[in-house]
Each structure stands twice: as structure tokens, then as C-alpha cells.
Amino acid sequence: MQSLFVTGTDTDVGKTVVTGGLLKAFATRGLSTLGYKPIAAGCESTPRGLENADALFLQHCSSVRAPLIEVNPVTYAPPIAPHIAATLAEQPIASEQVIAGWHQLASYQPDVLITEGAGGWALPISHQDTFPSILRQLPLRVILVVGMRLGCLNHALLTASAVRADGFELAGWVANHLSATMPYLQDNIDTLSHLLGAPLLGQVPYLNNDPNNPFEHTLGAEQYLDIAPLLVGTG
């Protein structure tokens, strides 16, 4: 089983766009896929409980069907940093729950299990711990989503350095266009391709879709991704 973790240079840089695209791209290769969103803040209250649009989308993109509570076990209503939301709700984030959730989805035996992070790489889950301190217990290779905008070079290089310093492999990166135009876009991509030391898996163009449709903004990302570098050495 391939186990990947998608992180970003910041919040709102397109992690869900890319995670959904990766799930579909692997499926087009005939591989079974399953997405995992362990922690989500900014959830909507429904008769079924708290539901997160990003988690619903990962469930939609996965070829293996799992209940939403398993796709997204830790949920909070306020769209704020999860550890703050956890404090307000008096429901601290338990690392054991995140790990158990990953193993539960792994028990479905998908060919590819992709975990999407929350926020950036060093997301606090409490006043003592960050997300990477949990992730060390799992066999994950990291995909970095770079939101292409002014400042992305610094953010991308710092994130890549932190990923490696925490003991993880940076398996690839994706350039996600956050606007229709960016000055010297290709120069920025060329710089990152030279300095990140990981394969560029694709460029996702700016998708100016209906913000009221939680799924439309992520449709079609798979056509811009090249997962071949991720398949090297796998069965």
C-alpha cells in the first residue's frame, strides 16, 4: 500500500484540490484509493453531525467507500486553528484517535491511502505538540502543495526543510495557481524545481468556479497531475 500525506505551504493553498486529484489520478491507473482527513475545523452542523466539505470531497473522490466518520474522525465547527477549536469545545485532539483512524482506513486495504493535513506542515494540535509529532508513527511520504503567489519561494523552501528535518521523505510537489495571473510565474516554478530536490508532479491552473459548490472547485485537477514519479518502485 502506498501511503502519502499532502501538506501545503499555508492554509487555503489547494491541498484538497490536489488530494482529490491524486486520488482520481491513481484510480485511472487501476489502483484502489482512499482519502483520509483526520482533523477538520470549519464544519457544518447537519442532522448527521458535524460535516466538513473537504472531507466529503475526499470521500467522493475515493474509489473505496468508507463512512464519513472514518474519513474525518476529528471535527470542529469554528473555522479556526484546530487546537484552539478543540480548547473551545473542550474536546482535545487525541493523537491515538488520529493514528487509529489511519489504521482503520488501512484495514480496507486500498492500494493508495492519502492523508490530507490541516493548515501548513507544523500545525499545532495542542500547546505542546504539532501534527508531525503524530505523523512520525505512520509510514508516510509527503507531497507538498505550493500555492503560487508572492512569497511562495520562501514558504516552500522552509516547508520542505521542515519536512526533511522531521524525518520524512518529500516525494514530490505540486504548483497550484491561486490566481489567473502571477508575475514571473514560470521563473518561480523553475526556481522551486531547481531547489526543492523533489519531482514536480504538475501545475494545477486557477479554477475560477462556483464557490457555493463545495465540489466544483476541485473537479478536474487530476488531468494536470503526473503521478509517474510516485509509482517508481511500487508494485
Kindly indicate the confidence band of residue 220, based on its pLDDT and cuts at 50, 70 and 90. confident
Pairing mode of beta strands 49-51, 44-46: antiparallel
Catalytic sites, residue numbers = 37
Residue-wise pLDDT for 110-132, tens only, equals: 999 999 999 999 999 988 889 99
Residue-wise pLDDT for 160-178, tens only, equals: 999 999 999 999 999 999 9
Single out the residue of 32, 53, 24 nearest to residue 220, CA to CA: 24
Residue-wise pLDDT for 147-159, tens only, equals: 999 999 999 999 9
Contact criterion met (CB below 8 Å) for 38 and 101: yes
Between CA 163 and CA 93 the distance in angstroms is 22
- Those residues whose C-beta lies under 8 Å from the C-beta of residue 116, and which sit 6 or more positions away, are 5, 6, 15, 16, 19, 35, 36, 37, 54, 58
Kindly list the structural domains of the chain, giving each domain's residue range(s) and its CATH number in brackets, ordered by start.
Answer: 2-231 (3.40.50.300)
Please give the distance of CA 209 from its chain centroid, rounded to a whole number. 20
Model pLDDT, residue 127: 86
pTM over 0.85: yes
Checking if the pLDDT of 208 tops 80, the result is no
Checking if the pLDDT of 235 tops 80, the result is no
